[in-house]
Amino acid sequence: MLLIPCPHCGPRAEVEFRCGGEAHVVRPAEPESASDEVWRDYLFVRKSPKGVHFERWNHAHGCQRWFNVARDTVSDEILAVYRMGEAPPEVGR
């Protein structure tokens, strides 16, 4: 069971949360002129590192707010938690 420190509520059990996948994926700035390849990268292509992953989580059964987590995909260790809009911290890189 992961113990996830929600930045708003503190440490809570994994079952209260939903994972929203990779964080910091940016929507094309000019949708009208974006190419098929740009849309593909935005919609479908994802980072899948063996190691530190920056991802979004939602405290669905708590405050319901979104936030970012830096987590190791092998050990499951949570290395940092930070708010939406903040830049990814320098961890394990």
Partner 1 sequence: MRYSIINVLKQGLAGQKGWQAAWRDATPKPQYDVVIVGGGGHGLATAYYLAKLHGITNVAVLEKGWIGSGNTGRNTTIVRSNYLLPGNEPFYEHSLKLWEGMSRDLNFNVMFSQRGVLNLCHSDAQRDAYARRGNAMLMMGADAELLDADQVRRMVRGLDFQNPRFPITGGLLQRRGGTARHDAVAWGYARAASELGVDIIQNCEVTGFVRDDDRITAVETSRGRIAAGKVGLAVAGHSSLLAEMAGIRLPIESHVLQAFVSEGLKPWIDTVVTFGAGHFYISQSDKGGLVFGGDIDGYASYAQRGNLPVVEHVAAGAVALFPALGRVRLLRSWGGVMDMTPDGSPIIGKLPIGNLYMTGGWCYGGFKATPASGWCLAHTIANDAPHALNEAMSLERFARGRAIDERGAGPRPNLH
76 contacts partner 1 (rule: CB under 8 A): yes
Partner touching 83 among partner 1, Zn ion, none, CB below 5 to 8 Å by kind: none
9 contacts Zn ion (rule: CB under 5 A): yes
62 contacts Zn ion (rule: CB under 5 A): yes
48 contacts partner 1 (rule: CB under 8 A): yes
Q: Which run of H or of E encompasses 43?
A: helix 36-43
CA 63 to chain centre: 17
Long-range contacts of 44-53 (CB under 8 A, 24+ apart): 46/21, 46/22, 47/22, 49/73, 50/74, 51/92, 52/79, 52/91, 52/92, 52/93, 53/22
Q: Can you give the binding site for Zn ion, defined by CB under 5 A? A: 6, 8-9, 59, 62-63
Q: Can you give the binding site for partner 1, defined by CB under 8 A? A: 1-2, 14-15, 18-19, 21-22, 36-37, 39-41, 43-48, 50, 53, 55, 71, 73-76
